[in-house]
Structure 1
Amino acid sequence: MCKSSNAFWENVLELLISWRVSMEINNILETEDREVFMTLSQTYQEWKEATKREGKLEGRQEGRQEGKLEAKLESIPRLLALGLSVEQIAQALDLDLEQVRQATQG
């Protein structure tokens, strides 16, 4: 099953559970209590969506950083071929000497 299909069924299941809980609460709670519960449910959903958005944003930022580092590391052999020293490359690419040395060995 693909990732989007799993997410769809996860959402369906969550909605069914939420519906079941709300039906049970409707049978038990007074009107005022139901209003409080619904407000809390809405607040939870908003928090959950905000958390998802934040997670996606952080993931994109991490991906960009990893991509930048990968590009720097891939350029090291070309810079060595041009005659730059390991120290010069580290300084030019703003990398640690150890990162440059490891890239030259791998």
Structure 2
Amino acid sequence: NQAVRELLELPQGNAFRENVLELLISWRVTMEINNILETEDREVFMTLSQTYQEWKEATKQEGIEQGLEQGLERGLERGLERGKLEAKLESIPRLLALGLSVEQIAQALDLNLEQVRQAARE
């Protein structure tokens, strides 16, 4: 129990502290799942309870942040791609008015013929 208290007194971000806490939390979860606690273990278990909750919340928050970041990146990429495609499609009537053929426009804008034909009809 004293060792756990000393460990918790180390500054957050300390690599040793983080590694040992991860092991202790893993042990705590295993003990909780298997419901195997001796009296001595219960004291350590209680000391780790707050740390476990903090770790659990931090891990959850980290997952949420990563998910949001990935979602934002994907959304931006899709938005940029859609914007580029829309700009290409909007330019088709002007290019046709200049006398370019559907085939020339498709090649120049890197679009398939059906996309160019459909944009020309709209």
- TM-score, structure 1 length as denominator? 0.68
Say whether 1:57 aligns with 2:73.
yes
SS in 2 for 1:57: helix
Say whether 1:70 aligns with 2:83.
no
Tell me how many residue pairs correspond in the alignment.
78
Q: Hey, what's the Cα distance between the residues in 2 that align with 1:35 and 1:90?
A: 61
The CA deviation string for residues 21-65 of structure 1, in whole angstroms up to 9 with x for no partner, is xxxxxxxx7222332232121111011011111111111111111
Say whether 1:41 aligns with 2:57.
yes
Q: Hey, what's the Cα distance between the residues in 2 that align with 1:82 and 1:47?
A: 53
Query: Which residue number corresponds to residue 86 of structure 1?
Result: 102
Higher CA-based Rg: 2
Identify which range, 68-77 or 36-45, moves more after superposition.
Answer: 36-45
Identity of aligned residues (%): 56
RMSD, matched Cα? 1.3
Q: Hey, what's the Cα distance between the residues in 1 that align with 2:48 and 2:85?
A: 56
Structure 1 residue runs of 5 or longer lacking an equivalent are 1-28
Structure 2 residue runs of 5 or longer lacking an equivalent are 1-44
Higher normalized contact order (CA 8 Å, seq sep 6+, divided by chain length): 2
SS in 2 for 1:30: helix
- TM-score, structure 2 length as denominator? 0.60
